[in-house]
A and B are shown apart, each in its own frame.
Chain A
Amino acid sequence: MKMSNYQRLHPLVILKKSISWAFSFVLILIFDTLRNTSNKSDWVFSITIFGGLIVLAVIFNTYHWFTFKYAINPTTLSIKSGIFFKHEQTIPFSRIQSVHQESWLLFRPFRVVKLTIETASSSSKVESTILEVVSQSTYALLEKLRLGKNVPADIELKPINKQHYKSQYSVSMNDIIVFSLVDFNIISGILGLTAVFYHFSDFADKYLNPFLNKIVASGLLLLISFVIIIVILAILGSITKNIFKYYKFNAQRELNHIIIERGFFTRTTLSIPIERIQAIRIKGSLLQILLHIKTVELLLASGKESEDKENAEDTTFFLFPIINSRLLSEKLAQILPEFTETIAPKTSQSFPCLPHYFLFSRFQFLGLLLLVPLFFWNNNWSFLLGIAILLFTLLFVINSLWKTKSQSSTYYEKQLLIIRTVHFFTLTEYLCPLNKIQSISISTTPFLYQQQLGHTTFSLKTGETALEIKLKYLSWSICKDIKEACSPKIRKYTFKKTKKYIP
Chain B
Amino acid sequence: MNTYSLLKNKMPPSIKKAWIIKDLISFFVSIIVIEAVGFLANHFWHSTWINQSIIILISIATLITLFSLISIPYRYFFHRYEINQTEVTIQTGFFFRKTTYIPLIRIQHIETSQGPILRFVHLTELSIHTAANTHSLSGLDIKIAADLRTQILELVEVIREDV
Interface, chain A (partner B; CB < 8 A):
94-95, 120, 123, 275-276, 278, 301, 435, 437-446, 449-450, 452, 459-461, 466-467, 483, 487-490, 492-493, 495-496, 499, 501-502
What distance in Å separates the Cβ of B143 from its nearest Cβ neighbour in chain A?
10
What distance in Å separates the Cβ of B129 from its nearest Cβ neighbour in chain A?
5
Size bracket, chain B contacts: 35 or more
Residue pairs across A and B with Cβ atoms less than 8 A apart, 16 shown, are: A123-B130, A123-B131, A278-B163, A438-B106, A439-B130, A439-B132, A441-B98, A441-B99, A445-B95, A449-B97, A460-B132, A466-B132, A483-B101, A487-B86, A493-B158, A501-B149
Contacts of B93 in A (CB 8 A): 443
Interface, chain B (partner A; CB < 8 A):
1, 4, 85-87, 93-103, 105-106, 108-109, 129-135, 146, 149-151, 153-155, 158-159, 161-163
Bound Cα distance from A120 to B108, whole angstroms: 12
What distance in Å separates the Cβ of A256 from its nearest Cβ neighbour in chain B?
14
What distance in Å separates the Cβ of B103 from its nearest Cβ neighbour in chain A?
5
Given contacts A301-B131, A502-B146, contact A487 B101 (CB under 8 A): yes
Given contacts A441-B98, A443-B96, contact A449 B154 (CB under 8 A): no
What distance in Å separates the Cβ of A117 from its nearest Cβ neighbour in chain B?
16
Bound Cα distance from A225 to B132, whole angstroms: 50
What distance in Å separates the Cβ of A205 from its nearest Cβ neighbour in chain B?
34
Contacts of A459 in B (CB 8 A): 130, 132-133
Contacts of A442 in B (CB 8 A): 98-99, 101
Partner of A501, one of B102, B133, B153: B153
What distance in Å separates the Cβ of B136 from its nearest Cβ neighbour in chain A?
13
The list of the 4 closest CB pairs from A to B, nearest first, reads: A466-B132, A438-B132, A441-B100, A443-B98
Given contacts A461-B132, A490-B86, contact A435 B161 (CB under 8 A): yes
Partner of A439, one of B101, B146, B149: B101
What distance in Å separates the Cβ of A454 from its nearest Cβ neighbour in chain B?
8
What distance in Å separates the Cβ of B89 from its nearest Cβ neighbour in chain A?
10
- Tell me whether B131 and A120 are in contact (CB under 8 A): yes
Contacts of B130 in A (CB 8 A): 123, 438-439, 459, 461
What distance in Å separates the Cβ of A81 from its nearest Cβ neighbour in chain B?
27
Contacts of A466 in B (CB 8 A): 132-133
Partner of A444, one of B97, B108, B133, B146: B97
